[in-house]
């Protein structure tokens, strides 16, 4: 049985860092994204140019595609396996997975704004104006059948322990 756990949250809340930190600590398929921008040191994705991306999209290679911050993202159909699949996606892509799979849980990673500001500043991917725009952005309520919020404001060590506990609980509840 395929079990899908979707990871969503604002840029900078630590989704990729958290996933990277737990990768060898839980038995799961960490599904890589296809992305048209330059790699980030905390990410483990497939980086392709826009022409290749559009070709794969046209060939129906992806289960879901989305655009964010002038980049294109996608998840391929053939990377979903039996068992627990953990996938970092855009909130707008949730329905693609809910329409294709029976067992889908969405986890929204959250942070207080002051912690998010510090993390965005440390990441140094954006200037101060871009950071402020990001902090002042308002998001629509996430539409998902089964959603859980996860506060990622603890240390990476503590957040990782808490996150693994949450994932194990989700995994065990679906096996009942």
Rounded alpha-carbon distances, angstroms, from residue 80 to 1, 30, 77: 11, 9, 6
Which tens digits make up the pLDDT trace of 4-53? 999 999 878 889 889 999 999 999 999 999 999 876 666 678 899 999 99
pTM for this structure? 0.88
Residue 83 — φ and ψ, nearest 5°?
A: 100, -160
Integer Cα distance of 34 and 72 in angstroms: 8
pLDDT greater at residue 139 or residue 63: 63
Burial 26-49 (b: 16+ CB within 10 A, else e): bebbbbebbbbeeeeeebebeebe
What pLDDT was estimated at residue 42?
A: 60
What residue spans of the chain are helical by DSSP H? Answer: 15-22, 50-58, 94-100, 113-123, 128-136, 156-174
CA 128 to chain centre: 24
DSSP-derived letter for residue 5 is E
What SS3 class is residue 41? Answer: coil
Domain total in the chain:
1
What residue spans of 23-127 are helical by DSSP H? Answer: 50-58, 94-100, 113-123
Which tens digits make up the pLDDT trace of 116-130? 888 888 877 788 888
Give whichever of 27-41, 81-95, 129-143 has the largest mean pLDDT.
Answer: 81-95
What pLDDT was estimated at residue 153?
A: 93
Question: What CATH code is carried by the domain that includes residue 87?
Answer: 3.40.50.300
Q: Range of 121's domain?
A: 2-174
For residue 2, give the nearest of 75, 98, 93, 104 by alpha carbon: 104
CB distance 65 to 74 below 8 Å: yes
Q: Using 50, 70 and 90 to split pLDDT, how confident is the model at 103?
A: very high
Report, as an integer, the average pLDDT of 124-152. 85
């Amino acid at each position: 049985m395929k079990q899908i756990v979707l990871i969503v949250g604002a840029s900078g809340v630590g989704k990729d860092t958290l996933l990277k930190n737990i990768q060898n600590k839980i038995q799961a398929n960490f599904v890589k994204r296809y992305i048209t921008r330059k790699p980030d040191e905390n990410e483990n994705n497939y980086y392709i140019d826009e022409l290749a991306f559009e070709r794969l999209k046209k060939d129906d290679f992806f289960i879901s595609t989305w655009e964010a911050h002038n980049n294109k993202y996608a998840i391929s159909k053939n990377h979903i396996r039996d068992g627990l699949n953990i996938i970092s996606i855009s909130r707008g892509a949730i329905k693609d997975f809910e329409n294709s799979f029976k067992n889908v849980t969405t986890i929204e990673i959250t942070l207080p704004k002051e912690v998010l500001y510090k993390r965005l500043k440390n990441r140094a991917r954006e200037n101060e104006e871009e950071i402020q725009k990001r902090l002042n952005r308002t998001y629509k309520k996430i539409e998902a059948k089964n959603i859980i919020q996860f506060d990622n404001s603890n240390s990476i060590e503590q957040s990782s322990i808490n996150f693994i506990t949450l994932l194990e609980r989700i995994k065990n509840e679906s096996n009942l």
